[in-house]
Structure 1
Amino acid sequence: MTRTIAVDQLDAEQAAVELARLADALAAANSAYHTDDAPVMSDADFDALKRRNAAIEELFPALVRADSPSRQVGAAPADGFEKVTHAVRMLSLSNAFAESDVAEFDRTIRNFLGLSETEIIAYTAEPKIDGLSLSLRYESGKLIQAATRGDGSQGENVTGNARMIADIPRVIEGAPEIFEVRGEVYMSHADFNALNARILAEAEGDGGKRIGKTFANPRNAAAGSLRQLDAAITRARPLRFFAYAWGELSEPLAETQFDAITRLAEFGFKTNPLTRRCDSAEALLAQYRKIEAQRATLGYDIDGVVYKVDDLSFQTRLGFRSTTPRWAIAHKFPAELAWTRLEGIDIQVGRTGALSPVARLKPVTVGGVVVSNATLHNEDYISGRDNSGGEIREGRDIRVGDWVQVYRAGDVIPKIADVDLSKRVQSAVPYEFPRHCPVCGSEAIREEGDSVRRCSGGMICAAQAVEKLKHFVSRAAFDIEGLGAKQVEAFYQDGWIRTPAEIFDLEKSYGSGLQQLQNREGWGDKSAKKLFQAIDEKRHIPLNRFLFALGIRHLGEVAAATLARHFGSWDALKTVLNDAAGEPAMAATDAKARKALLSESPNWSELLSVDGIGETLVQSLLTSIAQPAERAMIDDLADRLTIEDVAAPASAGSPVAGKTVVFTGTLEKMTRAEAKARAEALGAKVSGSVSKKTDLLVAGPGAGSKAKKAGELGIEILDEDGWLELIGQA
C-alpha cells in the first residue's frame, strides 16, 4: 500500500516497507501498460509514484532494493508475437517535475563531466509523444525488422504491421549499412475520433448483433492497432510515427543530437517540428513553457518535454544507469484531479497477507481514463492520520458516502487525495478497519512501525495461497503455458493444487488426471495433454526464475537474478540461507527476537555483501527459511525440479569482469561517477568499502584509510594511470 507519511518523516523501517510497496505497484503498472496495452494510470500518474520511490532512495541509499523501479524498464513482451532481442537496449527516461529538477539535471551533468557553471552545454528539447515506442532496423537501406520496446532488452516482432504505417519508409537512401531508427507510434486526435466513430457505425450496421468496443484514448488505440496479429487491421488504422533516436549503427549519424535528428528527417522520417537546440537550463524551461502552451492545439497527445545533452561525445562519456541514460530527462506535465462519490470500501488480501482497503467509486473520468476503484492505502490514511499519529488532510477522515477527490498519481489504481466535508451525509459513520482477515478469519496483525495490517493465516488463508500460486505461474516466474491466474484459482477451489509443488504432481496425483481435466468445461484431450506437457517442460528452471517464483516478500526479479549470479547454484545459496537461519532463529516466535538472532548468524554479513542486496531483503529471506512450513514447501518444490545453475558471466576480454573494485582519493582524468560507470560497464562490481572480497583498489591523491587497509589485506593497488592502462584507455 502507498505510504502516506511525508518522505522526510520516514524512519528506516517505514522506508523499507514503502519501497517494497512501490516496487510491487510499479511492476504491476508496467505490466498493464507495456504488456497488456491497458494502462490503469497516465504516464504522469505513474511518474509521481516513481518520484516518491526515488525520493525515498535518495534519503535511504542503503535500502535501495535490487528490484527497485529505478532499475527496471517496461515489462515482458506479450504472447502472440515472435520475441526480438534488441542489439542496443531501449531504455526509459528519468523524470523532472519542477524547474528545480531541471536545474539539478544540468548541475549533475556538469559535475559528472567536470565542467564549471560558466561553460556552455547545449541541449535539445522536444515534445514527449504519448504513444508506443518502436525500433526499426534497416540493413543496406531496407527495413528488415520492427520491434516494440518490451522490457527494454526484448520486444515483440511487429515488422509486418510497421510496414503498414505510411510514415515509416521501407527503403531509405544513403543510410549506414546497419541503421536502427527509434521513435514513437501514435494516433492523432482527429484520426482517433474518426476510428471510434467508425467502430460504432460498423456495430450499428451489423444489426446490433455485436457491441462496438471503442478505445479509451489515442495511446491505447495506437498500441492496440500496432500489436494486431493481423497486419490488415493495422493497415486500416491511421497510425503515425515520429523518429527521435537510434539504436545500433554501423557508422555515426552526426556529432550532435540535433544534427542527427536532422539526418533522420533527410532520410525521410517524420521528426517533431518543435525540437529545438538550447544552450542552458533556462532555455530548456522556456521551450517547455512554449510547448506546454501549444499542447491543446497540437492535435496529438504529449505528456512532457524531453531534454538531451546535444554533444554525442558527452552522451558517450555520461553513459547509462541501469535503466536510464544520464544524458537525458523527461520534464513531465502535471497530473489531473476529479471529484466523485465513495460508494463502498472493500478489503483485499494479497499474497503477503497485506489487508488493502480499496475504494469503490461512482465512475468518473480522470485524465482520459474511467476510474471506479482507488486505493485508500491503509487504516491510518482512512482515519486522517499517518502511522505516527500526525494529521493528514487536516485530520479529515474518509467515510462511505463521502464526496472524495481522486488523484491519478500514485498506485496501480488511483488514490483518494481529499474529502469534502461540506457534502458529507449525516448518516456517514467512521470506518472501522477489520482486525481479522475477511477471507480466513485469522487475526490481522500490525507490527510496530508498519503501516500495513497483515493476515497471520499464511498458507491456510485461501487468499494468500491463491495469490502466491498466481505469482508462481506468472510470466516472469514459471510461466506455464495454459496455467494462468484463472486456471490456478479454479484448480485451487477444486482442491487440485494447494502448493506450488502440487502443480508438478497434478497428473500423477490424479491417476486419471488427464481424464478428469478433459471433463472440465473448456478443456479437451488436446488442451489437457498440452497442459501436462507444459508443466513437465518447466521441471527444468533457471535459478533466478525459481527464486522469484517463491513469492518471498521484497524478492523481485532483479534481486533474484542478483542472488543467482552471485551464488551460482541453488545448493550454494540454500546452504548459506540454512546456516544463517539456524535452529534458535527457527524457534523464536517473537519477530524482534528472531531478527536479532538472524543478524548474529555467521552468514548474515555474507548475504549483505552481495552487491544490490540490502538488509530488508536478507531479513525477509531468512525469516521465510526460518519458518518450518515455508522451508518444507520450498524443499518439496525443489525436490521436483532441476534448478539450473547460473553460468559465470563471460568476460568478453575485460580484465576486470567479475572483480570487486574500490575507488578512493581524487581522480584527475575522470570524475568518480564516470570511473564507476566505466568499471561497471566492463563487468566489475564497484564497492564503497575495502574488505577481504575486494580485488582491486584504485587510489588517487589523498587516498587514506582505504589504501592503508588494502595494503594490510594484500589487495592490489593501482593509481589512476595504472587503472586506465589496465582497462585499455591509457
Structure 2
Amino acid sequence: MTQTQDPAARAIELREQIDLHNHRYYVLDEPSIPDAEYDRLFNELKAIEEAQPDLITPDSPTQRVGGAALSAFGTVAHEVPMLSLGNAFDEQSMRDFDRRVREGLDLPAGDLFGAGEAVEYCCEPKLDGLAVSLLYENGQLVRGATRGDGSTGEDISSNVRTIRNVPLKLRGQGWPAVLEVRGEVFINKAGFEALNERAREAGSKTFANPRNAAAGSLRQLDPNITRARPLEFCCYGIGRVDGELPDSQVGILHQLREWGLSISKELKLAAGVDECLEYYRDIGERRAALGYEIDGVVFKVNKLAYQRELGFRAREPRWAIAHKFPAMEEITELLDVEFQVGRTGAVTPVARLRPVLVAGVTVSNATLHNMDEVARLGLMIGDSVIIRRAGDVIPQVMQVVADMRPADARPVKIPEQCPVCGSDVERTQLIKRGRGRETVSEGAVYRCVGRLTCQAQLKQAIIHFVSRRALDIDGLGEKIVEQLVDTGLVSSPADLYLLTYEQVLALEGFAEISTKNLLGSIQDSKQPTLARFIYALGIPDVGEETAKLLARSLGSLQRISQALPEVLVYLPDVGMEVAHEIHAFFDDEHNQTVIRQLLERGLVLQEEGELNPELAASVSLAEFITRLEIPGVAKTGAERLAASFTSLEAIMQADWLELKRVERFTEKAQTGLRDYFADAQRRERVLQIEQQLKAFGMHWDSPRAAQSEGMPLSGQTWVLTGGLEAFSRDVAKDYLESLGAKVAGSVSAKTHCVVAGPGAGSKLAKAEQLNVPVLDEQGLLDLLKDHGIEP
C-alpha cells in the first residue's frame, strides 16, 4: 500500500488500520497480520504524534499508554444503579425463578393440555472478574468506573483506557449520544499464570486468583502498571442510554459487538427453563477447558419490555439470576484453630489450614462458624478435612476424614478469656418466649463481655459505624481505625467527632491534605438520615433493611429507643427475638451514653418525623389480647372479649359473672384470663405496653385523622408498572410512600391508582378491566409537583 505523505492524513490512516486490527485481534479473535507488522504500524503512528503533538487525538491507540500516577480515585454516582443478581444453586431454584417470571408477566401456565408459554432467556457464562461501567458520549470513551456499592463507584477512566479490547472510540455509526456499557474486566487463565510467573521471577508477591489480579490491576493509581497487566473486557449489558437500541438483551449485545465491544462467545438464546438448564450443564462440563474462570451462568429475560414489566427488588432485578456452579472441594490438614472477636463480641473459631488450591484459589483459612459446628464436625486439631469454597467464595470446612486422624490430634477448646482483652468469655443464652413463659437454653455463640473496652470489638464497631452504608466517612479504613484505637484517640464512635487537626496529622500516612480531607468527611457525616444512624449503631440482628423499617415506621430516634419489645413486634417483619435485641441495645447504659455523646457532638438526624400513618391506631383491642398469649384465650376468644368490653382495663377487672356473659367464652379461657392478670408484675407490664401504644398513636382509641394529617395519599394503594424515564420505579415508590401511599406489586379492586410507563403490560390491562384509574408518567410528575415534590 502506498503511504500517504501528509502526516495528518497518514496518522488518520494508521489509526483506522490499528483500530481495525485491534478489533480483529481482541474482539473477533481473527488476527490478520503478524505481531511484528502491528508493532511497525503502531510505532509509525507514535513517531508521527511525537513529532507533531498537535495531531494527537483522545481516541488514538497510542493514548492507551498510561500517564502520571494518580493520588486518589474520584467517585462516580451511577445514574442507573449497578445491581447485584440473585443466585440459584440447584435446578429447583432455577425452576422457581422461571415460575416467578411467568407469574410476574401473567403468562399462561402449563397444565394437562400444554406446557404453557415459555420465556426466552439470554444465556452467558458468569465471568469471575470485576464489574465496571464504560461511558461513551458521541462514540468517544469519556469515563470508566467500578461498580462500587452499586450506587457509587470509583473513577478508573485512566486505567480502563489501557485495556486493549476497550475501544476508545466506537466503530461504525448510529450509536446513542450517551451510551453506558457495563461488563466484566478479567484476566484469562494463561495471562494469570504468566503474570504470577513474572512476579515469582521478580521475587514479588503472587496473586491468589485471577479475580483478585484483575481487581488489583484496575485499582492501580499508576495506569502504566495497569497497562502491563493482561486485562480484558467483556460487556454484558447497558446502563444509561440516550438514544435507540434493539428491544432485546441479545439484540443489544450483538449491536455492541458491531460497535467494537467484546461480548461472550458463549452467548446463546434459550426458550424456557429446560433449555437454560441444558445450557448450564453444557457450560459446566466445558468449564475447565474454557480459557477464563467462571463461577456460574447468568440468565436474563431477553425481551426488554418484559424486563421493564418485572422490575426490581431492593438490590436485584426480578428478570435475571446467576445459576452458580457447585463449590469445588479439596482435602488438607487442620494445623490449628484460632479465635477471632467480632463487632458484637462473638468469639468465632477460624481454621488455620495447610495451604491448598480450591477452585483456583489458595486457601489457608476457613470459617468454622461456632463451637456447635466444631462439635457437629467432630473436629480435632491435626485432622485431615474436606474444604469447600461455598458459592466459590467463602472457604468452609465440610467434613473430617476420620480414617486419617493422627494419634496426636488435639481437641478444640473455647478460651475462657478473650484472646484480645482478657475479659471473660461467656456462652450466650437462647430465650424462647411463648404463652407468657420464657424457656432458657444455651446458645451456639460465645461472647467476650468486654464490649467497647475490648479493642477488637471497638475497632469492628467503628469500622461498621463509618462504613459506606452507615455514616459513610470516607478515608477511615481499617488501618486508620486501628491506629486511632491503638493510640487511645478513640474509645467510642462519638470520639471521632473530637479529633483535632494535630491529632490526625500525627498519624502514620497522613499529610496536610489527607488530614483536612478526613476531618472534612467526618464533618460531612454529621447529618445522617435516621435510618443510616440506626444501622451505624450496630444493633445485633439489625441490618440495613430493618434499620430503614424502624425509621420509616416509628419516625424518630426517641420512639425507637423507647419502644418496648411487645410494641416493636407490631412492625412488619420484626420478630420477638430481634425486638428484644433492639430494646436491650437502647436499654444499655453504655449505649445510651454513646448516643447522647454523638448528638451532643453535632450529629443532627435527618428525615425524623411522625409515626407512619399506616401504624396510626393500627392495633386493635382483639389483636392486643391475642398477642398476650393468655393460656386458653386464642384469637376467637380475644375477639369476643373485645366485642363485649370497651377497654383493656374493663377486661382486666372483669369478674366471673361478666366473663360468663361473653358468648362462647369457655371456662378454661375464663380461668386462664383471671390467672394471667392475677400476677401483679404481668398486669403492670401489660398496662405499660398499652400506655406506650397510646403515646405512639398506635392504640385502638388513638385518632387516625391526627396521624394522617399532611399525608394526602394515606390509606391508598398504588401500583407501578412499565418503565419510567424521569427516575426509576424504586424512586417513584419512595415518593409515593412519602405521601402516605402503600405501593403494591399487583392490581386488585382495592387499588386506588396505577402508574403505567412505557412497556406496561398485564397490570395495565387488569387495571383497565377493573376500571382502576391510570396515570402516565407525566400524570405522576404533575401529582408529585402538586404536593411539593419536584424530582
TM-score, structure 2 normalization: 0.65
Which amino acid is 1:377 matched to?
A: H
Shift of 1:445: 2.9
Structure 1 residue 722 corresponds to structure 2 residue 688: no
In structure 2, the partner of 1:714 is: none
Correspondence 1:294 to 2:279: no
* C-alpha spacing 1:143/1:149, structure 2 compared with 1 (3 Å): same
SS in 2 for 1:722: coil
Structure 2 partner of 1:576:
559
| 1:119 counterpart = 2:109 | no
Kindly report which structure 2 residues correspond to 1:77-96, keeping only aligned pairs within 5 A, or say none.
80-96=72-88
Find the aligned partners of 1:558 and 1:287 in 2 and give their Cα distance. Answer: 35
The offset of 1:418, in angstroms, is 0.6
Alpha-carbon deviation of 1:165?
Answer: 1.9
- How does 1:94-243 map onto structure 2 within 5 Å? 94-116=86-108, 117=110, 118-172=116-170, 173-201=173-201, 203=202, 211-243=203-235
Preserved CA contact (<8 Å) 1:136 1:147: yes
**1:142–1:616 distance in 2 versus 1, CA, 3 Å:** farther
How far apart in 2 are the matches of 1:659 and 1:178? Answer: 39
Match of 1:272 in 2: 264
Alpha-carbon contact 2:337-2:381 (below 8 Å) kept = yes
Q: Which amino acid aligns with 2:607?
A: V
How far did residue 442 of structure 1 move? 2.3
Distance 1:647 1:254, change over 3 A: farther
Deviations 1:687-727 (A, max 9, x none): 9xxxxx776999977879xxxxxxxxxxxx99943243487
Q: 1:335 to 1:535 in 2, by over 3 A?
A: same
Q: Which residue of 1 aligns with 2:446?
A: 453
SS in 2 for 1:282: helix
Output the CA distance in 2 between the equivalents of 1:94 and 1:412.
Answer: 15
TM-fit CA distance, 1:198: 3.0
What aligned pairs does 1:383-398 form with structure 2 within 5 A after superposition? Answer: 383-384=375-376, 397-398=378-379
Q: Secondary structure at 2:390's aligned position in 1?
A: coil
Distance 1:275 1:446, change over 3 A: same
Kept in 2, the 8 Å contact 1:120–1:279? The answer is: yes
Which secondary structure state, in structure 2, belongs to the residue aligned with residue 104 of structure 1?
A: helix
1:630 to 2:611 alignment? no
1:381 maps to what in 2? Answer: 373
User: How far did 1:245 drift?
Assistant: 0.9
Residue 565 of structure 2: aligned partner: 599
- Asked whether the 8 Å contact 2:186–2:231 carries over to 1, the reply is yes
CA distance in 2, matches of 1:481, 1:703: 46
Distance 1:579 1:718 in 2: 46
Instruction: Summarize the Cα distance change of 1:288–1:656 in structure 2 as closer, same or farther, 3 Å threshold.
Output: farther
Partner of residue 313, structure 2: 321
Contact 1:199 1:212 in 2 (8 A): yes
The Cα RMSD (Å) is 3.9
Distance 1:248 1:453 in 2: 48
Q: Which residue of 1 aligns with 2:675?
A: none
Q: Secondary structure at the match of 1:249?
A: strand
Give me the whole-angstrom Cα distance separating, in 1, the residues matched to 2:743 and 2:504.
59
* Paired letter, 1:549: A
Residue 486 (str. 1) matches residue 472 (str. 2): no
Identity, % of aligned positions: 39
Q: Deviations over 1:320-371 (max 9, x none)?
A: 1112111111222111111111122222222212121111222222222222
Superimposed CA distance per residue, residues 625-654 of structure 1 (whole angstroms, 9 cap, x where no aligned partner): 112222122112221123241399xxxxxx
Q: Deviations over 1:271-321 (max 9, x none)?
A: 222211121222222222222232222211222221121222111111111
> Is the 1:445–1:456 Cα contact (8 Å) retained in structure 2?
no
Task: Write the distance in 2 (CA, Å) between the matches of 1:424 and 1:149.
Answer: 45
**In structure 2, which of residues 533, 536, 560 is the aligned counterpart of residue 546 of structure 1?**
533
Distance in 1 of aligned mates of 2:712 and 2:74:
32
Would the alpha carbon gap of residues 538 and 340 (structure 1) be closer, same or farther in structure 2, given more than 3 Å must change? Answer: same
Name the CA distance, whole Å, in 2 between partners of 1:279 and 1:520. 60
Change in Cα spacing, 1:323 to 1:703, as seen in structure 2 (3 Å) is closer
Deviation at 1:533, TM superposition (A): 6.1
* 1:344 matches 2:336: yes
Change (3 A) 1:132 1:680: closer
Kept after mapping to 2: 8 A contact 1:698/1:723: no
Amino acid at match of 2:247: E
Partner of 1:408, secondary structure, is strand
Decide whether aligned partners of structure 1 residues 477 and 694 sit closer, same or farther in structure 2, where only a CA change above 3 A counts: closer
Letter in 1 for 2:533: F
Partner of 2:543: 556
Structure 2: distance between partners of 1:619 and 1:328: 37
Query: Which amino acid is 2:409 matched to?
Result: A
Specify the SS of the correspondent of 2:141: strand
- Do 1:662 and 1:686's aligned partners in 2 also have CA atoms closer than 8 Å? no
CA separation of 1:488 and 1:618: change in aligned 2, threshold 3 A: same
> Does the aligned pair in 1 maintain the 2:326–2:391 contact within 8 Å?
no
- Residues 371/564 of structure 1: CA separation in 2 closer, same or farther (3 Å cut): same
Q: Which residue of 2 aligns with 1:683?
A: 733
Preserved CA contact (<8 Å) 1:141 1:175: yes
Task: Report the CA distance shift for 1:289/1:619 in structure 2 as closer, same or farther (over 3 A).
Answer: same
Q: In structure 1, list runs of 5 or more residues that go unmatched.
A: 1-77, 204-210, 385-395, 508-512, 581-597, 649-654, 672-677, 688-692, 705-716
Larger Rg: 2
Give the CA deviation at 1:670. Answer: 8.6
CA contact (8 A) 1:133 1:148 kept: yes
Q: Note if 1:641 corresponds to 2:602.
A: yes
Q: Secondary structure at the match of 1:447?
A: strand
Distance 1:109 1:632 in 2: 49
Q: Distance in 1 between matches of 2:391 and 2:487?
A: 37
Q: What SS class does the counterpart of residue 414 from structure 1 fall into? A: strand
Tell me the distance in 2 between the aligned counterparts of 1:104 and 1:481. 41
What is the rounded CA distance, in whole Å, between the counterparts of 1:271 and 1:341 in structure 2? 42
CA offsets 1:7-53 (integer angstroms, 9 cap, x no match): xxxxxxxxxxxxxxxxxxxxxxxxxxxxxxxxxxxxxxxxxxxxxxx
1:392 maps to none
Q: Deviations over 1:659-697 (max 9, x none)?
A: 56558xxx9x999xxxxxx9866326999xxxxx77699
Q: Measured at CA, do residues 169 and 615 of structure 1 come closer, stay the same or move farther in structure 2, by a change above 3 Å?
A: farther
Verify the 8 A CA contact 1:169 1:268 in the aligned structure 2: yes
The SS at the match of 2:444 is coil
2:745 and 2:461 map into 1 onto residues whose CA distance is 46
The amino acid across from 2:601 in the alignment is R
The aligned amino acid for 1:635 is R
* Residues 680, 544 of structure 1: alpha-carbon distance in 2 compared, 3 angstrom cutoff: closer
1:471 to 464, 469, 472: 464
5+ long unaligned stretches in structure 2? 1-69, 111-115, 431-440, 610-709, 723-727, 752-766, 781-791
Q: SS in structure 2 opposite 1:261? A: helix
Q: Secondary structure at the match of 1:348?
A: strand
1:560 Cα offset (Å): 3.7
Q: Are residue 403 (structure 1) and residue 384 (structure 2) matched?
A: yes
Aligned twin of 2:356: 364
Q: How does 1:5-16 map to 2 (within 5 A)?
A: none
What TM-score, normalized to structure 1? 0.70
